[in-house]
Amino acid sequence: MIEKTGVPTRTQILKEFPDLIVLKKPKAIIECYKDIPCNPCDTSCPFDAIHVPQDINQRPQINFDKCTGCGVCVYHCPGLAITVRQIKADKAILKIPYEFVPLPQKDAIVKVLDRSGKHLTDGLIKQVRINESQDKTAIITIEIEAKHIIEAMTIEVPYGS
Amino acid sequence: MRIRQHPILMFTEKQKIQFYYNGKQVYGYDGDTIASALHALGIKNLSHSIHLKRARGFYCAIGNCASCNMEVNGEPNVRTCITPLKKDMDVKQQVGKGRPYDA
Amino acid sequence: MHKEVIIIGAGPAGLTAASQLLKIGVEVMLIDRNDLVGGQLTKQTHMFFGSEKQHASKRGIDILTMLDEKLKQYPNKLTVFTQTTVVGLYNDKVVTCIKDDRYFKLSADAIIIATGASEKSLPFENNDLPGVYAAGAVQTLMNVYGVKPGHKVLMVGSGNIGLIVSYQLMQAGVHVVGLVEAADHISGYLVHASKIKRLGVDLWMNTSVKKAIGVDSVEAVEIWQLDDQWQGIPGTEKQLEVDTICIAVGLAPLTELLQQIGAEVVYIRELGGNVPRVNKHYETSINNVFACGDVTGIEEASSAMIAGEITGIETALKLGYHVPNHTAKLTQLHCDLDTLRQGPHGSKIRQGIAKLGVQL
């Protein structure tokens, strides 16, 4: 249970996903499982795809028809709770927010972790993006096998080294 | 114990400041408090409690709890967590209430 | 020296109160015992929640820079005393201070107490060993001074401070071996918990520290599970090798100065302990002595910034200043505060304010 472990249940996770067919195009997956007063995902979205109700304590709603998977919300979310996911043939492309140093290098093979921090699979770094507007939150694009599209969440960080 | 690389903050090399810890010459950096300079050197034991003389270290970092009190330039009970480090400061581990109140 | 308003404490509440007063044209003196202004903002490297008005998505350290720049527009009206400890507060609005071994007296027409709060401790065997540190203090050590507290850390407490500082320890390259929480659920924002869990930090509920182990500093920690009466269960002990134990079990308002002048103080558990009885104008029971920020009840920095703005305007009005559209401004600010306090995480503060019996 997420209130005890920090890990959402599979049912909770699946509720945030569209039908996998929709993920032929990149889409933002918002994993904000509890009401908190917050709305930068809504105000930062250039395509008006994310909506937080008048009471900003309520959870964001995403319109997958409008979402282009641009990733602007990914680095604006103070909870780092948004990823962008896409299925390309037998590969899944995952864009994650990343706030650690050193940044991974393009073409490196990295350990991909699930929501409980377990090593799920290995992934290939396709892109590392960091610019002024991202305010120090890098966006890392990782390629993994398509079957991990739902479970994959982040990559191993170099802490403690 | 200094952070060399950080994803959000820039810790640029600052000017070295020489000071004394229990009579030994050591170094901190400009911008340090006495407590941060000592921590960077791995020194955690800053004073001793009044009655049982148990080891005392840093705790609150806002100058409130008195756990990091040390003897600085002969003056006891200096709150080292909020006192900026200055060149040639003579910093000593404090025992109890500090001299001249306690041995 | 006499000033119209003296603000004690230059954290989020004190700074926004100052900014409002200066904008209205009131002269302000800000006093803080630290060498840097900003209070908790000086070390908050994480992005804030809330809406754009509360600078959501901006990092605390950058919000501080913005506030600082606002204050710099009024060099003739603002005096700042840092490294200055207020040691006495008197009913005739006299403030006595110590700076650089010098003791001096200041006075004002109105005083705003924005002293914030201090981190609580936790009773367990050897909790006085060096290496047992308040989590926010460790955040200061890392993010202001660039120094790591140790190599391996156990975090105690799953409120937002415990969760955020765990993440920031990892960002500084420190290994977080786990987080214990005495309650049966995570008390901070779940997004913060998920953020560290997915990086491999385990969160153990119904668990607390039995004792710290070490001679002159922490060398290990023994944790154990708690039963539903919050008592340790013998036989469930587990030893972890750590050199640092971070305590993040809540904050207590710093009301000493208010008690010194005899302002009425009430104990309200939901607000963090003893808090001044303020009215809806944030004025304490002493005429022209106001209080805002964590000293009136423990909340997030975003709430403290709004409360500071309200207090700044209210203080100016009390001193007889004309504040254009003040009714509309105050209504809007109160409405913003209400919004931040809605939702499940605001329930404690809502209950606390209800006990205080005013519309804050």
- Record: contact A102-B5, CB cut-off 8 A: yes
Q: How many CB atoms lie within 10 A of CB A58?
A: 17
B43 domain-assigned? yes
Task: For Cα atoms C264, C270, C274, give the angle at the middle one, nearest 5 degrees.
Answer: 25
Low-confidence residues of chain C, pLDDT below 50?
none
CATH number where B78 lies: 3.10.20.440
- Quote the tokens at residue C21: 């007063």
As for how many domains chain C has, the answer is 2
Looking at the structure, tell me whether residues C9 and C110 fall in a common domain.
Answer: yes
A160 domain-assigned? no
ipTM of this complex: 0.97
Nearest in space to C306 (alpha carbons), one of C322, C289, C315, C293: C293
pLDDT (0 to 100) of residue C106: 97
pLDDT (0 to 100) of residue C107: 97
Looking at the structure, tell me whether residues C280 and C193 fall in a common domain.
Answer: no
pLDDT at A161 over 50: no
- Quote the tokens at residue A19: 């039908």
Looking at the structure, tell me whether residues C145 and C208 fall in a common domain.
Answer: yes
As for how many domains chain B has, the answer is 1
Which structural domain, as residue segments, surrounds residue A81? 2-155
What secondary structure letter does DSSP report for B40?
H
- Closest Cβ opposite residue A5 in set C191, C199, C203: C203
**Which residues in B lie closer than 8 A to residue A158 (C-beta atoms)?**
none
- Record: contact C141-B58, CB cut-off 8 A: yes
- Record: contact A99-B7, CB cut-off 8 A: yes
Q: What is the pLDDT of residues C241-280, one digit of tens each?
A: 999 999 999 999 999 999 999 999 999 999 999 999 999 9
Judge whether C198 is closer than 8 Å to chain A, CB to CB.
yes
> CA C151, CA A113: separation in Å to the nearest integer?
23
B38 domain-assigned? yes
B52 domain-assigned? yes
Nearest in space to C83 (alpha carbons), one of B9, B52, B83, B7: B83
Expressed in angstroms, the distance from the first to the final Cα of chain C is 32
Looking at the structure, tell me whether residues C127 and C196 fall in a common domain.
Answer: yes
Judge whether A53 is closer than 8 Å to chain C, CB to CB.
no
Task: For Cα atoms A60, A62, A66, give the angle at the middle one, nearest 5 degrees.
Answer: 145
B34 domain-assigned? yes
Looking at the structure, tell me whether residues C26 and C130 fall in a common domain.
Answer: no
* Amino acid of residue A32: C
Burial class (CB in 10 A: 0-12, 13-18, 19+), C260: middle
C276 CB contacts (<8 Å, ≥6 apart)? C113, C255, C258, C263, C264, C265, C284, C285, C291, C295, C296
pTM value is 0.97
The three-state secondary structure class of B69 is strand
- Could you give phi then psi for residue A133, rounded to 5 degrees? -70, -20
> CA C141, CA C149: separation in Å to the nearest integer?
7
Mode of pairing for the β-strands spanning C220-225 and C207-213: antiparallel
B103 domain-assigned? no
* Banded pLDDT at A160 (limits 50, 70, 90): very low
Looking at the structure, tell me whether residues C128 and C111 fall in a common domain.
Answer: no
For chain A, percent of residues with pLDDT exceeding 90: 97
- Could you give phi then psi for residue A23, rounded to 5 degrees? -80, 10
Which structural domain, as residue segments, surrounds residue B30? 16-92
Which structural domain, as residue segments, surrounds residue C277? 2-118+251-356
Contact assessment for residue B55 and residue C129, using Cβ atoms and an 8 Å cutoff: yes
CATH number where C243 lies: 3.50.50.60
